[in-house]
Chains A and B, each alone.
Chain A
Amino acid sequence: MTTPLLEITNLHASIEGKQILNGVNLTIMPGEVHSIMGPNGSGKSTLASVIAGHEAYEVTEGSILFNGIDLLELEADQRACAGVFLAFQYPVEIPGVSTKFFLKAAVNAIRKYRGQEELDAMDFLDMVEEKAKSVSLNIDLLDRNVNEGFSGGEKKRAEVFQMAMLDPLLGVLDETDSGLDIDALKIVADGVNQLRTQDRGFVIITHYQRLLDFIVPDFVHVLKDGVIVKSGDKSLALELEEKGYAGIEACKSECSCA
């Protein structure tokens, strides 16, 4: 039997004493794309942060296995090195640090962890050019400080570009589509689709089903008040769009996600 890429069991998490996740179960096999939808404040970004290892969140119960290893035992940087990538809903600015410099440090930290040789400046630039093309990212942007003065769309595109550079096993995209016009949306979706392989899995967090027209998910889950209340295939997204979250009936007992 194949080992799941990600196996979240009964995950409870809190921040500053406030309970946000109340028993999330989610299993992602290699090659699968799962979409997570849900109203504002339902805990989507929290789930993403907990997977990526943000220290401010406390896991109070449950487990996360990544390729069979206990992810909760690893620090955030080790998780990244092991192959977890998070495209941030709000990418952070780092004044005075050029994007290129930052990315080179990231690529080489990860390569070192994986026992690969560090890239020299030339090989790194070749890789930058190739990957930037895949999301039509203007290379000049990379001489600017990390996310500083980037437009909303540029920030999102830069996140997908970074994902391509870092070659993760699991990509978690937190509202990478929000604030994008339709052309930008297509470019971002195309960038993600190019990264779909039979080994790599994705968690796509979104509010809108329109992204899912371009990145077609294998499963759709609805997160509400920190639990997955319903799971289905792509048609669930359409149903949500039509009826809204309020119209979604909670899962019946025969559904595995409750």
Chain B
Amino acid sequence: MNNQANNINDPKKAVAESLPGGGMLLSSSNPVEEDTALLKETFKEKYKWGFVTDIEADSAPPGLDESTIAFISAKKDEPEWLLEWRLRAYRHWLTMEEPEWAHLTYNKPNFDEIIFYSAPKSLADGPKSLDEVDPALLETYKKLGIPLAEHAALAGVAVDAVFDSVSVGTTFKDKLEEVGIIFCPISEAVHSHPELVKKYLGTIVPYSDNYYATLNSAVFTDGSFVYIPKGVKCPMDLSTYFRINAKSTGQFERTLIIAEEGASVSYLEGCTAPMRDENQLHAAVVELIALDDADIKYSTVQNWYPGDENGVGGIYNFVTKRGKCQGDRSRITWTQVETGSAVTWKYPSCILLGDDSVGEFYSVALTNNYQQADTGTKMIHIGKNTKSTIISKGISAGHGQNIYRGLVRIQKGAENARNYTQCDSMLMGDRCGAHTFPYIEVKNKTAKAEHEASTSKIGEDQLFYCNQRGISTEDAINMIVNGFCKEVFRELPMEFAVEARRLLEVSLESSVG
């Protein structure tokens, strides 16, 4: 598995019972040669979400020290324990080094220039009811296709909208409260449900976890809080829409979802940002907890600004997402469609502690132009009969680099644990790359881990076949790419699947010659 696969036209399937920690490197060579017909034209930027909302903001001065953290904490009127937790994280962060292990090249963020808190002035006094939200903000979300007025809202989806560092408003809150569901900005939950926040915050992703998670713990500004009580099936999808607007601002949101025994919820996350020449940092933390028989489905369509065709600007998306299947028979499903960001670094993971618990990861990552994505998952099997499934689809076009990095660890006590991993890469043109680094550690003899990988080049022959049937090259590419991603798309809620398809289409639009 360590060898370089040369024949990328011929999808190679490799099945292994278990693999030592080693990587498989598949990369297209031949940069000198004429690009294929697909890529004859340079990419034109088609990012339609790149506008800026002109709104007066209330911001912290750039840079980070203990007073910045005190500033944020004071803005949110936080209890003492939380400020202390933040400061502990900050002091720990000062001892840490920016990680280097990812297969990524980028200019490290200059933390002295980043603004760690920015909120529209009109929201300075904390979230108001939706009726009072600044019309400019409502207009922004409308433009993004997320109407916040409840009468116009997406049917069957409750939305929390986060704009830079604060939540703009949450729809259908009352309706959810009727069944005991809490869905609100985390800054609000700190006040309204301090016992829950205190009990769970940082238990899945400790403040000392990794460089960017630690930074997030120190400076997180807002995000969503979800609590589904025992036995409650959430009657609608919950959704958070993140928007970075202000210049030089970092977004550090923190999401915490708790599903009590027998509860279930489907949560959706979407994100966009204006087009800017400088890189902006987004470092989020998401923690999920599923108790006995609980079921959490977490879907992301990530469309942060990817930078222009020369690789200038774009979001650095350094995110820690982790879920714990704490209870028996619990299930956590991560589904992600990643089309945006200049650099993505993200491994939504599952700790399978409860017996018979299930972790799933379905991912489509597309990199075009000079985008880089290092993404994958970790499945940690601890309980008996735990099962995990990993389906990863990487698509690289232009000079895009797509890396799958995954860890499957089956611990000693995980009798009969099962993992199935399928990792497919698709290359468009000769200048992009795809790399896979699967790490598998099996410490229990009754356990099984299965890994399949393939790399294909979107073939001239496939395109010609479609063309020969009257289908245009652009439609053919969409069809082939959609077919490639089918197993992931079918895991997404309906509207999200439609959105994801549209996004892929837009992201690939100009890659056709």
Contact = CB atoms under 8 A, between A and B. Distances in A.
Contact of B485 (A53, A80, A92, A96): A96
6 contacts: A55-B464, A76-B468, A92-B459, A94-B480, A96-B484, A96-B487
B467 interface: yes
B480 A54 contact: no
Given A88-B465, A106-B469, A162-B469, A95 B459 contact: no
Interface string A156-179: 000000100010000000000000
B461 A77 contact: no
Given A97-B482, A97-B483, A102-B479, A92 B461 contact: yes
Interface stretch (B21-29, B274-282, B352-360, B470-478): B470-478
Interface string A61-81: 000000000000001110111
> Which of the listed residues A81, A105, A113, A162 has the most CB atoms from chain B within 10 Å of its own CB?
A105
A106 B486 CA distance: 20
Contacts of B1: none
B465 A109 contact: no
A55 B463 CA distance: 10
Nearest to B480: A94
Given A55-B37, A95-B484, A102 B468 contact: no
A56 interface: yes
Interface in B432-467: 459-462, 464-467
A206 B324 CA distance: 62
B456 to A, nearest CB: 8
A21 interface: no
A52 to B, nearest CB: 5
Interface of B is mostly: helix
Contact of A145 (B461, B483, B485): B483
Nearest to A165: B469
Contacts of A96: 482-487
Interface of A is mostly: helix
Contact of B462 (A56, A80, A94, A106): A94
Interface of B: 37, 459-462, 464-473, 475, 479-480, 482-487
A91 B465 contact: yes
Contacts of B475: 105, 109
Contacts of B484: 95-96
Contact of A92 (B462, B471, B473, B483): B462
A110 interface: yes
Contacts of A54: 460, 464
Nearest to A162: B469
Contact of A76 (B462, B467, B482): B467
Contact of B470 (A88, A95, A113, A145): A113
Given A94-B462, A105-B479, A86 B468 contact: yes
A75 B467 contact: yes
A77 B472 contact: yes
Contacts of B473: 77
A76 B463 CA distance: 10
Contacts of A52: 464, 468
Nearest to B465: A92
Contacts of A103: 469
The 4 A-B residue pairs whose C-beta atoms are closest, nearest first, are A96-B483, A76-B467, A106-B469, A97-B483
